[in-house]
């Protein structure tokens, strides 16, 4: 895991190059390097995880000296690729060298063979072109922009925004965030003219900034169905086992993030089968964040499964006294508006793990999205879709919480803003299941992209790698081939996974009802933080945007404080957006 940056253009600007390097150091505190040629500068900061020797530091040159790579992430199957393609006379034991050799042999087709999380840029000195790609889901980020006749890429958009003298916010993305709670749902970021390369995409760009983009992987056209339930169960566990084994590749100790739910318990059960998993340490170490309020604590569930597998569980409590510090700290870490209190608790927990010596943490993200884990999917089971129809990404009817409520405050926007939502973001669907289409939207537009973004930013702020091994494109494609009622049956979500795990983990864990991500945010906002909220919003920058009607907004806020409604997400959005504006503009 690392930080990467590139400046492509004929004018060399050492001040900007050094600014990128300074901005990336938290992502890679173990080493750094710069490659410079007449039309390009490439910057890398390294977190040493695979082959921790300096020989694997970057930028790395190919043996022929034609290609130079900067790479962020991990190629889980790099050892398999080394054997498969008989790469010889290697100078390191790193996945970086395997990736570079793969590109030398296959060019832009190299992404067909990769498993893992990655973003990388490779410069071709002869053609004077840059090749960039990100993994299938955009787990590892790559942002890009073009200004002053130069093309820039970087691991974080805030670093790119700091290169401009007059950086501007993206009013349309802010509108999406305020009205619908959307963020990281498109190529656009909260910074105007800075873009995100979305999952499964790659591009070539020449020294003049001309870009040619292509999508190398797409889930949206998977419609074949698997008919045998028992065979599917066996296949699922085997696939989970294999991808978890690949996802643990590391030359430093690896820990696990635990919640006590089905997903992290599945990962823990699989890990318990690996010999010497923790690099010679005794047993596994897990990290969990929790709240001291009994009604929101999940520690009792986490402890049941942890005790069964002798997990050394480190509990991080997040209390009301932590809120203000971590609110401001997390806003800086994220560099863009975020989506709620759990991010703060997670950030404190990851910091604790890093201080305990763990550079790598495994996370079970993604299963809810591709195994039908959310109860909102239940009403769509076995309803047929018509491939070729269009869906609106900004359809607020699809942007609801697990309890069916909408946390955004679209009714508080000025009337002129509301007119912008008609047919703004259409996508064509190729799935014949309405339930699968809803899962697809959550995976690529609504839920997963924002979750991956906040996990990347908070973990890398401490020089820690947060890996989601279950986010494997082949496993996801497999799950989308399962009939709807394999995933949800009799109102039981993730039915097939629960059946798979019911004889491997405690039954009460395997078939526990889906617990909504509950936090004390609503009570804290209504009581302990009420005065702070009113004081903050009184002098807030958000009113200067011209997007919110102040009278309607205060009416909604006052109603909430007086006990009308329980979804406090709109308050979080206003507070977090205000602080982001103050930090950046």
In a domain, 319, yes or no: yes
Question: Mean of the pLDDT values across residues 550-577?
Answer: 96
Mean pLDDT, the chain, as a whole number? Answer: 93
Q: For the chain, what percent of residues have pLDDT higher than 70?
A: 94
Question: Mean of the pLDDT values across residues 533-556?
Answer: 96
User: In angstroms, rounded to a whole number, what is the distance separating the alpha carbons of residues 155 and 328?
Assistant: 21
Question: Mean of the pLDDT values across residues 545-552?
Answer: 95
Specify whether 205 is located in the same domain as 281. no
In a domain, 485, yes or no: yes
Question: Mean of the pLDDT values across residues 483-512?
Answer: 96
Confidence of residue 339 (pLDDT cuts 50, 70, 90): confident
In a domain, 253, yes or no: yes
Q: What pLDDT was estimated at residue 395?
A: 62
Q: The whole model's pTM is what?
A: 0.96
Are 505 and 308 a contacting pair, CB within 8 Å? yes
* Res. 160: pLDDT tops 70: yes
Q: What pLDDT was estimated at residue 333?
A: 97
Confidence of residue 423 (pLDDT cuts 50, 70, 90): very low
Specify whether 262 is located in the same domain as 207. no
Specify whether 211 is located in the same domain as 239. no
- DSSP letters for 186-247: SSB-SBTT-EE--TTEEEEEETT--EEEEE----TT-------HHHHHHHHHHHHHHHHHHH
Confidence of residue 492 (pLDDT cuts 50, 70, 90): very high
Q: What pLDDT was estimated at residue 513?
A: 78
Specify whether 281 is located in the same domain as 207. no
In a domain, 39, yes or no: yes
* Res. 396: pLDDT tops 60: no
Q: What is the domain extent for residue 339?
A: 229-370+431-510
Q: What pLDDT was estimated at residue 283?
A: 73
Specify whether 333 is located in the same domain as 238. yes
Confidence of residue 386 (pLDDT cuts 50, 70, 90): confident
Specify whether 328 is located in the same domain as 294. yes
Confidence of residue 280 (pLDDT cuts 50, 70, 90): very low
Confidence of residue 276 (pLDDT cuts 50, 70, 90): low
Domain boundary among 510, 540, 559: 510
**In this structure, what CATH number is given to the domain that contains residue 126?**
3.60.20.10
Confidence of residue 405 (pLDDT cuts 50, 70, 90): low
Question: Mean of the pLDDT values across residues 59-75?
Answer: 97
Q: What share of the chain is helix, strand, coil (3-state, %, to 5)?
A: 40, 20, 40
In a domain, 404, yes or no: no
Residue carrying structure tokens 């980020």: 141
Confidence of residue 456 (pLDDT cuts 50, 70, 90): very high
Specify whether 258 is located in the same domain as 359. yes
Question: Mean of the pLDDT values across residues 27-42?
Answer: 96
DSSP H or E run through 413: none
- DSSP letters for 338-367: ---THHHHHHHHHHHHHHTT-SEEE--TTH
* Res. 420: pLDDT tops 90: no
What is the layout of strands, in order, in the sheet containing 31-37?
31-37, 40-46, 2-8, 150-154, 143-147, 195-196
**In this structure, what CATH number is given to the domain that contains residue 243?**
3.40.50.620
In a domain, 581, yes or no: no
In a domain, 402, yes or no: no
Specify whether 298 is located in the same domain as 203. no
User: In angstroms, rounded to a whole number, what is the distance separating the alpha carbons of residues 156 and 142?
Assistant: 7
Specify whether 211 is located in the same domain as 272. no
What one-character DSSP code corresponds to residue 29?
Answer: B
Domain boundary among 182, 215, 248: 215
Specify whether 435 is located in the same domain as 322. yes
Specify whether 499 is located in the same domain as 363. yes
Count of domains forming the chain: 2
* Res. 422: pLDDT tops 60: no
User: In angstroms, rounded to a whole number, what is the distance separating the alpha carbons of residues 252 and 255?
Assistant: 10
Specify whether 289 is located in the same domain as 205. no
Domain boundary among 154, 189, 215: 215
* Res. 458: pLDDT tops 90: yes
Q: What pLDDT was estimated at residue 418?
A: 58
In a domain, 577, yes or no: no
What one-character DSSP code corresponds to residue 468?
Answer: -
């Amino acid at each position: 895991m690392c930080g990467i940056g590139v400046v492509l253009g004929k004018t060399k600007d050492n001040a900007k190059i050094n600014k990128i390097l300074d901005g990336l150091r938290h992502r890679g505190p173990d080493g750094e390097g710069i490659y410079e040629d007449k039309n390009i500068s490439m910057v890398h900061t390294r977190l040493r995880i695979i082959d921790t020797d300096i020989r694997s530091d970057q930028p790395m040159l190919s043996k022929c000296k034609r290609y130079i790579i900067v790479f962020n992430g991990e190629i889980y199957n790099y050892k398999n690729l080394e054997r498969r393609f008989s790469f010889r006379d290697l100078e390191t034991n790193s996945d970086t060298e395997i990736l570079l050799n793969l590109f030398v042999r296959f060019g832009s087709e190299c992404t067909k063979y990769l498993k893992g999380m990655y973003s990388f840029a490779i410069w071709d000195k002869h053609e004077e072109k840059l090749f960039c790609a990100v993994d299938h889901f955009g787990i590892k980020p790559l942002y890009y922009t073009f200004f002053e006749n130069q093309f820039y890429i970087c691991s974080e958009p805030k670093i790119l925004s700091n290169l401009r003298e007059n950086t501007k916010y993206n009013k349309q993305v802010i509108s999406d965030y305020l009205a619908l709670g959307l963020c990281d749902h498109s190529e656009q970021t909260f910074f105007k003219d800075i873009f995100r390369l979305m999952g499964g995409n790659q591009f070539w760009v020449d020294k003049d900034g001309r870009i040619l983009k292509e999508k190398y992987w797409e889930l949206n056209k998977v419609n074949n169905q698997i008919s045998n339930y028992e065979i599917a169960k066996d296949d699922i566990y085997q696939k989970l086992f294999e991808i978890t084994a690949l996802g643990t590749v590391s030359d430093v100790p690896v820990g696990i993030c635990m919640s006590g739910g089905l997903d992290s318990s599945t990962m823990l059960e699989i890990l318990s089968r690996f010999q010497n998993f923790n690099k010679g340490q005794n047993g596994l170490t897990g990290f969990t964040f929790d709240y001291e309020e009994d009604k929101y604590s999940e520690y009792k569930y986490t402890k049941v499964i942890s005790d069964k597998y002798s997990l050394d569980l480190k509990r991080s409590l997040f209390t009301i006294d932590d809120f203000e510090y971590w609110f401001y700290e997390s806003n800086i870490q994220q560099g863009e508006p975020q989506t709620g209190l759990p991010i703060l608790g997670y950030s404190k927990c990851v910091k604790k793990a890093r201080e305990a010596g763990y550079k790598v943490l495994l996370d079970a993200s993604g299963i809810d999205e591709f195994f039908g884990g959310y109860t909102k999917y239940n009403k769509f089971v076995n309803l047929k879709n018509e491939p070729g129809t269009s869906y609106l990404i900004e359809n607020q009817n699809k942007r609801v919480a697990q309890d069916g409520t909408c946390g955004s405050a679209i009714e508080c926007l000025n009337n002129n803003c509301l007119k912008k939502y008609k047919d703004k973001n259409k996508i064509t669907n190729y799935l014949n299941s309405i339930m699968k289409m809803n899962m697809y939207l959550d995976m690529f537009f609504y839920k997963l992209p924002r979750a991956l973004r906040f996990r990347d930013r908070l973990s890398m702020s401490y020089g820690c790698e947060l890996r989601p091994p279950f986010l494997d494109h082949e496993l996801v494609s497999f799950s989308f081939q399962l009939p709807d009622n394999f995933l949800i049956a009799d109102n039981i979500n993730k039915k097939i996974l629960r059946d798979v795990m019911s004889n491997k983990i405690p039954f009460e864990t395997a078939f526990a009802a889906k617990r909504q991500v509950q936090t004390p945010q609503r009570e804290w906002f209504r009581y302990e933080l009420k005065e702070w909220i009113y004081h903050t919003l009184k002098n807030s920058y958000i009113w200067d945007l011209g997007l919110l009607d102040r009278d309607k907004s205060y009416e909604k806020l006052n109603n909430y404080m007086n006990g009308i409604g329980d979804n406090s997400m709109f308050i979080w959005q206003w507070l977090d957006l205000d602080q982001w504006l103050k930090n950046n503009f």
